[in-house]
Amino acid sequence: MYKKLIILFVIACGLFLLFPPLPKNYSLTNVFRITEEPVAITHGTYGSALTVNISFGDDEVLNWIKELEKPYPTLFIDIDWAGRFPETIRLIKDKNIPTALLGQDGTAYENDAKLLVHQLEAYENIFGEKPLWFRSKDEVFSHFLHELLWESEVNALGSSYVWTGGDIPPEVEGEIISVPHHRKQRVNLAEIKRLSKSRDFQSIDNVIFGVQGETKKIPK
């Protein structure tokens, strides 16, 4: 009898070491390194995700944010722009609109290795947490930038399609659509409403992990 108890105790200890319990605040979407190696994610497995890159605009962006309704797009925010418009940032936070970090063109990080660190620190100071997603403005991710992001525990996110206005593209399963709003290239924010009505957009997490019912899978 005692031998059986000892054996069961040893087995239980082994299972505990192999499969420790997850912390109460564990969340799949909070875990970095969705992929097994540094790589930019450009598509998911289910539905459509809408992302908007913002580095320009004042009252027009503020008014657009005021009128935004759920499901919200994910806003990739340029840190310099965020610093100039704290009222808009406060509204984004109050409405709990998902945000991510929009960087400079990919080559900028080749010339300044500390640039990403400064941007991540500024983002965390504004939003109170490190971004889960990063996108360079031109969606170019060099090997060096991938390594910087990997070390910083932030995921690189590109897009499947960059929409610059005009005809609405046909829906593609797992697509991640990005819309630019920069000084030299931007879509009228009112036009984004038309795109939003073209399909049922999901969060980035849902699209990447294929959340449909209770199932989750990482895209290959």
Place of tokens 């009505």: 197
Q: Class for domain 37-209, per CATH?
A: alpha beta
- The model's confidence at residue 3, banded by pLDDT at 50, 70 and 90, is very low
77 membership: H or E segment, kind and range:
strand 74-78
CA distance 76 to 51: 7
Indicate the residue type of 24.
K
Does this model's pTM top 0.75? yes
pLDDT (tens digit, 9 = 90+) per residue, 39-98?
789 999 999 999 999 999 999 999 999 999 999 999 999 999 999 999 999 999 999 999
- Other beta carbons less than 10 A from residue 64's beta carbon: 19
| pLDDT, averaged across the chain | 83
Is 55 in contact with 80 (CB distance < 8 Å)? yes
Residues linked to residue 54 through DSSP beta bridges, in sequence order: 77, 181
Higher local confidence (pLDDT), 82 or 22 = 82
More confident residue, 44 or 12: 44
Q: Give the whole-number percent of the chain exceeding pLDDT 70.
A: 78
What local confidence, expressed as pLDDT, does residue 210 receive? Answer: 76
Using CA atoms, how far apart are residues 124 and 202, in angstroms rounded to an integer?
25
